[in-house]
Amino acid sequence: MRFLLAAVTALFLTFLTQGNVADADSFSKRFKKGSHNFGAQIGGGYTFDLPPGVERTDIAMLFVFPNWQYNITGLIGESWYRGALFHHVEAGLAYALKTGSGSGRAINGGEWLWGFSPLMAQYKFLSPKRKWAPNILAGAGFSYGNWNDNAYEISTAFEFLLHIGAGVEFYTRTNAWSLNYRLFHVSNSNIKSPNIGLNAHVFSLGMRF
């Protein structure tokens, strides 16, 4: 918790000391169609009962997902919904940590899930008048790991991933930082039963460079 608070404090101090993003021409150039960049999200999450009342295996996880983005549209729209649509591709690791409370069974800890999600999109609500941009994210991918060794809700090493989330990105002159939330879903699309699936809240800090 102390590490998270320190990271958030450093993020906002960096944001506040950078000055304005740029003038209108630089802003348009930064978010031009065809531009691309790399980034990463690092954080943690935990599974929860969805739908409520159905007990699921308790998993707390470390979430590390590097990513790549490509600006598909450039700046589009007017008013509050002005922004840009990005193709978002990510690959990384969700590493299970032991939890000892909550409903369902506790996973032993040490289980891993390697994921690759090439079919994702992010829309950023952009304005040259501010140094921050809300965004929404959605997409799908697949994973391979051993969560199925202890989580009865998934029965195969190969699983599909679904993501839906939102965040706020803060721009500096050369890069960007973000605070993010996503709903992280893991299931095997009925390749094998049972296919109850796991759902998790994931909170992360991100950086673009």
Question: What is the per-residue pLDDT for 4?
Answer: 47
Is the pLDDT at 102 greater than 60? The verdict is: no
Residues 6+ apart with CB under 8 A from 88: 67, 68, 69, 120, 121, 122, 137, 139
Cβ(90)–Cβ(120) below 8 Å: yes
Residue recorded with tokens 């000055």: 19
Question: Residue 152: which CATH number?
Answer: 2.40.160.20
Domain count of the chain?
A: 1
- Alpha-carbon span 167 to 205, nearest angstrom: 10
Is there a contact between 95 and 108 (Cβ–Cβ < 8 Å)? no
- Checking if the pLDDT of 106 tops 80, the result is no
Are the C-beta atoms of 21 and 128 separated by less than 8 Å?
Answer: yes
Rounded CA-CA distance 185/160 in Å is: 8
Expressed as residue numbers, the domain containing 162 is 2-208
Is the confidence at residue 11, as pLDDT, over 60? no
Residue 78: count other Cβ atoms within 10 Å of its Cβ: 6
**pLDDT in the model for residue 110:** 83
Joined tokens for residue 158: 């190969």
DSSP 35-93: -EEEEEEEEEEEE--SSTTS---B-EEEEEEEEEEEESS-SB--GGG-EEEEEEEEEEE
| Pick from 19-28, 74-83, 118-127, 142-151: least confident | 19-28
Q: Is the pLDDT of residue 175 over 70?
A: yes
Q: Measure the CA–CA gap between 21 and 18, rounded to whole angstroms.
A: 8
Q: Specify the 3-state DSSP secondary structure of 6.
A: helix
> Which of helix, strand or coil describes residue 103?
coil
Average pLDDT over residues 170-187: 95
Task: Summarize pLDDT for 112-136 with one digit per residue, the tens.
Answer: 999 999 999 999 999 999 999 999 9
Neighbours of 185 (CB within 10 A): 17
30-77 tens-digit pLDDT: 999 999 999 999 999 999 998 787 778 889 999 999 999 999 999 999
Per-residue pLDDT averaged across 98-119, rounded?
A: 77
Supply the pLDDT for residue 19: 45
Report the pLDDT value the prediction gives residue 24, as an integer from 0 to 100: 67
Cis status, amide bond into 118, omega within 30 of 0: no
Q: What is the pLDDT of residues 66-97, one digit of tens each?
A: 999 999 999 999 899 999 999 999 999 999 98
| Nearest partner of 206 among 106, 65, 108, 78, judged by Cα | 65
Is residue 20 scored above 50 in pLDDT?
Answer: no
Residue 15 has what pLDDT?
Answer: 47
